[in-house]
Chain A
Amino acid sequence: MIDIQIKNSPLDVQVCIDYTNHRNAGGTAVFIGTVREFTKGKKVIRLEFESYEPMAIKEMKKIAEQAQEKWSTLAIAIHHRIGVLDIGDIAVVISVATPHRKAAFEACAYAIDTLKETVPIWKKEFFEDGAVWVAAHP
């Protein structure tokens, strides 16, 4: 079971957890990525995320399928938010249910690590004195 979503409105963690509720699950790992106030000592005012949506959905689905194959996940939900986000807002939620806890942690870590590397979503950080596209330059 795989649920992939890109949303322009606030994410609901419980929706992801409910989706991964499974009678054979022994553990569910949930990762919640949030907007933090300081980046390298600089105060962030807000973030903006944009995505190349059809490809981002495809790439997120690929990640979920790889996790399913590698860790026999029973259900996995990956929801990513786009648009303008404020400090403390949730940018991404990943919920993974597996028969045993170790696989849930590993699959969840794999999903967020790979998402950050391959999914075409971009984050712009706004400071009091300007803005930068995150991780664009070495």
Chain B
Amino acid sequence: MAILEVRNLNIDYISVKGVDYSISDINFKLEESKAIGIIGESGCGKSTIAKCILNILPQNVYTQGEVLLDGVNILNISEKEMENIRGSQISMIFQEPMQALNPIRRIKNQFYDLLYTYKKINGKVKTHNLIVSRLEDVNLKDIDKILNSYPFELSGGMAQRVMIAMALIKNPRVLIADEPTSSIDAINRKEILNEIKNLKDLSVVIISHNLSEVYDMCDEILVMKDGVVVEQGYTKDIFQNPNHEYTKLLLQNEGISKKSYEKRVSC
């Protein structure tokens, strides 16, 4: 059974004028240890879907449909129950790592805040070991120094790695990565994507405006435009036989042809 299933999801941004913007009819299934990519231009509603899954949308949004986690609809459950799902079942990383860390608290303390209950039960030493092991998982070196520094002392790549470690510290089963590499240079981008890819037993939803980023990571792809999914299917099929004009345009603009895709997959 799929871990996460989105069924007929409709999201409307409403205001006094009426409906400002709507995202309609989103359907996808995320299987265990698989990855799904959501691709589209800026403002087409990719991040909104992610926020809707985690129930952190603003109040002027009207949602319809179902988001099933292990067959249970999590769209209508209480905030208290949602608190238990965030972090320990579904977690998310944002596009701006610098903004996603509290500027006035040391990294160490931000981890401790997150593990408040865990620390109470298991003590400080065990908590510290857990944090260190998670930071090692994302290939960070000089961990003591990082733990004692403030966010502004870290580079973008380091901060994003810290964010990934934070998102994964409670062992979630689903990770939503909302343009995780958009503010990071090319070399770090590749490394971070590889790190996300290599995380075991984790189902990933990757949101991106960059086709080449999800190229060899995702098993399935949704291409979105203006709040509608224009094309959906296995990565291979979409790259080899794009049906919709918009997908063709995307592939063309990024210089990805059928040939280059086959070459890349084969090596």
The answer to whether A and B belong to the same complex is no
